[in-house]
Amino acid sequence: MPQGVTRIQDVIVPEIFNPYVQALTKERSAIIQSGAMVADADLSNLLSGGGLTFNQPFWQDLSREDEENISNDDPDDKSTPNKIGAGKEIQVRLSRNNSWSTMDLTGTLAGSDPMQAIAARVAAYWTQRLQRAFIAAQKGVFAMNDAAPAGGSTHTQGDMTFDASGTTFVDGVTNFSAENFLDATQTMGDGQQDLRLVVMHSVVYNRAKKNNLIDFVPDAVNGNAAEVPYFLGKRVIVDDGMPNNSGVFETWIYGAGAWRFGQGNAPVPTEVERDPSAGKGGGQDILFNRVEWCLHPVGHAYVGQGYGGGGPTNAATSGNLAAATSWSRVFPERKQIQIARLLTREY
């Protein structure tokens, strides 16, 4: 090999590269760092085995509607025990990958620590893709909730959403406000006190700032000093990938641990391919990186069908993450689902 030429295979050490990318992806994910999505060791362990879906049984809570017995001294008057119900959550594996050539990484290879520089780029990419997968899956859960219960789902139609959008824009009525936001949190009843995160589009965020509704709290983000936005004591994440249509915008609200996140290892998470014929014989290095994820909304079951062997895509077509028919609620009480949605019309 000519001296002075740095190639990807010269700097990538998979045993170091893989865990570094995984840790950095979680560290940079605002959803995970907020606590709304928690890293779950059980899901990560499941991803290390086989199977595209995982069944996790649970005991249902005791009914508060069953009246207690009144004690007496009659030995023949026997009490009748109530049943404890059971159910199961179903999670789905997401096997995803991408690749990059030295044409994209030439500048990185000149860095003082090229392996960490490349890993930082790869982690930044996967952080964004994790956010996109999360948004797709959440769209699917809301689409399921917007429809009448089917396939054994325990939800009440529309019980996760407050819609203030109306049919036409009315300033101060249909757009984002503290009053509309509180009505959205009220869909959880007294469980609203557990909500701690707000995800909104930049258009909604701009409206909130104009109305002096955003507080900025000094904090550290990815190791750097930053002013983190909060609304009514809840951390704000701004993402232009949030659903919107014809001036109607969605704002999502979460409690701690509303979603669970598992991260496993692909059989070969990272590898490098050398193509000597590329570039008219000049040669090309290609870096492949693969991830194994599980993103799961607590209290739900993934029931989608017809996706490929690597799990569902982000699409809204049948069997994929954003499809209403891919999800079913299995926790019977609304308060157990620490997710709410506000619809507003901003123009």
Provide mean pLDDT across the span 316-331: 96
Q: What is the pLDDT of residue 83?
A: 67
Let me know: does 238 contact 276? Beta carbons within 8 Å.
no
Q: What is the pLDDT of residue 2?
A: 42
Q: Is the pLDDT of residue 29 over 50?
A: yes
pTM of the model: 0.88
Q: What is the pLDDT of residue 86?
A: 65
The total of other beta-carbon atoms located within 10 Å of residue 169's CB is 15
Let me know: does 122 contact 108? Beta carbons within 8 Å.
no
Q: What is each CA distance from 132 to 8, 104, 183, 223, 291, in whole angstroms?
A: 28, 22, 27, 23, 14
- Structure-model confidence comparison of residues 231 and 114, the more confident one: 231
Q: Is the pLDDT of residue 43 over 90?
A: yes
pLDDT band at 103 (very low <50, low <70, confident <90, very high): low
State how far the Cα of 193 lies from the Cα of 338, in Å rounded to an integer: 10
The SS3 assignment for 267 reads coil
State how far the Cα of 142 lies from the Cα of 198, in Å rounded to an integer: 16
Q: Is the pLDDT of residue 316 over 90?
A: yes
The token duo for 172 is: 């101060």
State how far the Cα of 231 lies from the Cα of 181, in Å rounded to an integer: 10
Q: Tokens 């009144």 — which residue?
A: 70
Mean pLDDT of the chain: 90
At 67-96, the pLDDT tens digits run 888 898 888 888 887 766 667 999 999 999
Q: Is the pLDDT of residue 277 over 90?
A: no
- Structure-model confidence comparison of residues 306 and 46, the more confident one: 46
Q: Is the pLDDT of residue 3 over 60?
A: no
> What are the residue boundaries of the structural domains of the chain, listed by start?
8-62+83-345
Q: What is the pLDDT of residue 156?
A: 96
State how far the Cα of 246 lies from the Cα of 75, in Å rounded to an integer: 70
At 144-160, the pLDDT tens digits run 999 999 988 999 999 99
The token duo for 59 is: 């005991």
At 166-212, the pLDDT tens digits run 999 999 999 999 999 999 999 999 999 999 999 999 999 999 999 99
State how far the Cα of 334 lies from the Cα of 187, in Å rounded to an integer: 8
Q: What is the pLDDT of residue 81?
A: 76
pLDDT band at 238 (very low <50, low <70, confident <90, very high): very high
Percent of the chain with pLDDT over 70: 92
Q: Is the pLDDT of residue 213 over 90?
A: yes
Q: What is the pLDDT of residue 11?
A: 86
Q: Is the pLDDT of residue 310 over 80?
A: yes
Q: Is the pLDDT of residue 294 over 80?
A: yes
Q: Tokens 């157990």 — which residue?
A: 336
Describe the strand order of the beta sheet including 327-329 as a list of residue ranges: 53-59, 86-92, 300-302, 327-329
